[in-house]
Each structure stands twice: as C-alpha cells, then as structure tokens.
A and B are shown apart, each in its own frame.
Chain A
Amino acid sequence: MATPASTTDSQSDARAWQVLAEGFTLFAAGAAPVFSIIQAIGTLTGDPVVIEVATDPGRTLDVGGTALPLDSAFVEVLPTTTQAWVLAGVDVASGLFIALVAWLVYRVLVTARTEPGPFRGGMATRIFRISGLVMAGGMALSVLSGLPNLLLTPDGAGLTVSLSFLPLFVAAAIAWTAEVFRRGEALESDLSGLV
C-alpha cells in the first residue's frame, strides 16, 4: 500500500527537526568548552571582571517620572593573579559541565532517532545521568556564579552568594522522565519474545 504524501512529508519534517536538534546540541557540546577557555584566557591575560556591587539601599533613579530602585551597580575590577586563576578555573569548569550535559542530550537524541523503539539503547541510564549532572552541576554553578563578587570585594560591598534551587526542580523533572523510560525498558524486556 502506498504511503500518503502528507504522512511522508510530516515524517521527513520530524526527521529534519530531530537532526537540527542533534546538530544544535553537538555544537553546544563542542562550543561551550572553547568559549569558556577563551573567557578564561581573557581573565588570565588581564581582562577586567564585571561584578555587581551593592549601593545605598533605597536609592532610586528618576527615569521619566518613574523612580527605579538603584541598590546595586555593575563595576569592572582587575583581579590579582591568584584571583584570575580561580575565576578562570570556574569558567573552564562551567564550560566542561555544559559540554557534558549537551553531549548526553545529543546521545539521547541520536538514540531516539536510530533505535527502533523509544525504550532501548540505555536511554533511561543516560537521562538519569543528565538529571544527576543538572542537580549537582547546576547547584554548584549557582553558588560559583557569586564567586567573583566574593573574591573581588573583600570589604563586603559585593552581593551575597545565593543558592538557587531551580536546578533541583529541573533535575527532579528529568529524573521523573528517566523513571518513565526505565519502566518502559522493563516492560519492553518483559514483552520481548512473547508469542
């Protein structure tokens, strides 16, 4: 029986989107470490670091009759050599973390396209790994993002380091998806060879 043209078109459209998503994640996996290394080199070679510092609480700026709160400002600071190495290390670690997550997402997308069914090829394991990385790496990065302020403003003018729980919730959602795939793999295994 001939396949209707509209079905073939939508299948090739879906395949094109899949390949595009794979390309994007592969690019992210390759580009993230490169950009982070470039940024780290910049920090080590004397580029100023932009930090957010606290100003007078309650101070406002009048813009067209509207009083905008102005309790923080961005300033450029030149780090010392030790500080520059620490900040460069954080840059590289962030880049590697993003690359690792992007690589795992890329592998999930490739498996989804090439395997005959969704519950194969170790999808659940990969998604669980992504979940763990997002939780641990995401929370670590949220703390480390405040490191420049902490290092470069010893007089306490820097804003305090904040801990974001968003990665925790995102990781929980990803882990839930992974559990769906794990159960799917178990069911598929039970049904294989059924006559």
Chain B
Amino acid sequence: MAVDPDVGDRVRCHLDDLLERRDLTLAALADEVGVTVANLSVLKNDRARAVRFSTLVAICDALDCQPGDLFSVATT
C-alpha cells in the first residue's frame, strides 16, 4: 500500500496532557530535551509531519513515558 503523505494530519500529540500531569512547562521540557521551544510547539499543536527517533526518545525519557502515551492516531 502506498504511503499517503496527508495521513499525518490524523496523528494527535498529547504533549499538553503529559506536561500538565507532570507540572512541567514547554520551555523546561525544551531545555531538558535540547530541542527549541518553537519545534516542541509545532509538535504540541499537531503541526509536525515527522519526528526524529532521537527527539522521541529524549521526550519519552524526560517525561518517563512511551511513544504510545505521546501519540495516538485519530480514526477516520
């Protein structure tokens, strides 16, 4: 099956919830992960189209979670 480049819109990021539960700010997470606040904001607002494994691992380590906690795929 060919990859549809537009299906990325269905991926939902739950960074907001995870930050709230851990009482963390986006700036603090950016500082810990080593990614700019602007890039994390893109991720948080579901505007990212791809995530580097290194970024994903760093966020999961920082928030003590798994990729499945961070993302979900909306049903059509």
What residue of chain A has the Cβ atom nearest to residue B41's Cβ? Answer: A195
CB of A193 within 8 A of chain B?
yes
Contacts from A to B (Cβ < 8 Å):
189-195
Residues of B within 8 A of A (CB): 5, 8, 35, 39-40, 42-43, 47-52, 55
A-B contacts counted at CB < 8 A amount to 25
CB nearest neighbor in B for A190: B50
Q: How far is the CA of A194 from the CA of B36 in the complex (A)?
A: 12
Supplied contacts A193-B47, A193-B50, A195-B40, 19 more A-B pairs, CB within 8 Å: A189-B5, A190-B50, A191-B50, A193-B8, A193-B42, A193-B49, A194-B48, A194-B49, A194-B50, A194-B52, A195-B35, A195-B39, A195-B42, A195-B43, A195-B48, A195-B50, A195-B51, A195-B52, A195-B55
Tell me the dominant secondary structure on chain A's binding face: mixed
How far is it, in angstroms, between the C-alpha of A193 and the C-alpha of B42 when the chains are bound? 8
- Taking the closest CB of chain B, its distance from the CB of A14, in whole angstroms, is 29
For A193, give the chain B residue with the smallest CB separation: B49
Mind listing 25 A-B residue pairs with CB under 8 Å?
A: A189-B5, A190-B50, A191-B50, A192-B49, A193-B8, A193-B42, A193-B47, A193-B48, A193-B49, A193-B50, A194-B48, A194-B49, A194-B50, A194-B51, A194-B52, A195-B35, A195-B39, A195-B40, A195-B42, A195-B43, A195-B48, A195-B50, A195-B51, A195-B52, A195-B55
